[in-house]
Each structure stands twice: as C-alpha cells, then as structure tokens.
Amino acid sequence: MTGIVVAATVVALLAGEAAGLAVAATAGMVAVGVERHARHRPDPRRRFSPAERRHVLARDGWRCRWCGSGVGLEVDHVVPWSRGGRTSVANAQVLCRSCNASKGAR
C-alpha cells in the first residue's frame, strides 16, 4: 500500500472508532458497521400490572379521558415516570394512542 492509502485507512479507522462504530481493516480496505447492543429492557417499575390496568380502564369507563374514544386505549401516567410520577392507580389515566402520542412526557 502506498503512504496515502495507509494514512487514509488509519484516518478512517480512527474516525469510525470515535463515532462508536465497529471498524475492520483488511488489505487496505475498511469496513465500517454499527455495533449491536443488547436489547433494552424496560424498567418493570414503570409498567402497570394487568390488575391495575383493568382497574384504571373500568374506573375511566373504557374511554379516553381527553377525546372520549374507545379505540386503541392505553393506561398512562398522569405525572410522567420520568418526572417522578409513581406507577400507581392514583397516577394513572386512560388515553387513546393518538392522545397519548401527542401528550409526550408532560
């Protein structure tokens, strides 16, 4: 390999590693790929139990609290878990998918 190709290979290797990519060099060729991480598992403390879900759905009349829809219902935190809200029936509400998606973490 010439000096320019070697320098380009080294630069590509360093740039890839700095970006958190898996990098391999073989005979002057550079292959860059994304590293695979273990699948993220949600924190079980954030999830409502099936009994809590049924209780909240029955309490709210099997309807979205915001728009009144009865389709695609989800049990959600009133005060988001990310902002210190507890996973309890008192801090739960029923929202349809579209209302829950528009709510975000607020």
Q: How many domains does the chain have?
A: 2
pLDDT of residue 101: 92
Q: Are residues 48 and 97 in the same domain?
A: yes
- φ, ψ dihedrals at 41, nearest 5°: -105, 130
How much is the pTM?
Answer: 0.58
In a domain, 39, yes or no: no
Average pLDDT rounded to a whole number, residues 72-91: 93
Please tell me the predicted confidence (pLDDT) of residue 90. Answer: 96
Q: What percent of the chain has pLDDT over 70?
A: 61
| Residue 49, pLDDT score | 94
Q: Which domain holds residue 29?
A: 3-34
The pLDDT tens digits for 10-20 are: 555 555 555 55
Residues 90 and 68 grouped into a single domain: yes
**87 CB-contact burial (10 Å; exposed 0-12 / middle 13-18 / buried 19+):** middle
**pLDDT, tens only, 59-69:** 999 999 999 99
Q: How far apart are CA 26 and CA 38, in angstroms?
A: 27
Q: How much is the average pLDDT of 22-49?
A: 66
Q: Is residue 25 part of a domain?
A: yes
Instruction: Provide CB contacts within 8 A for 79, sequence distance 6+.
Output: 85, 86, 91
Q: Domain of 80: which CATH number?
A: 1.10.30.50
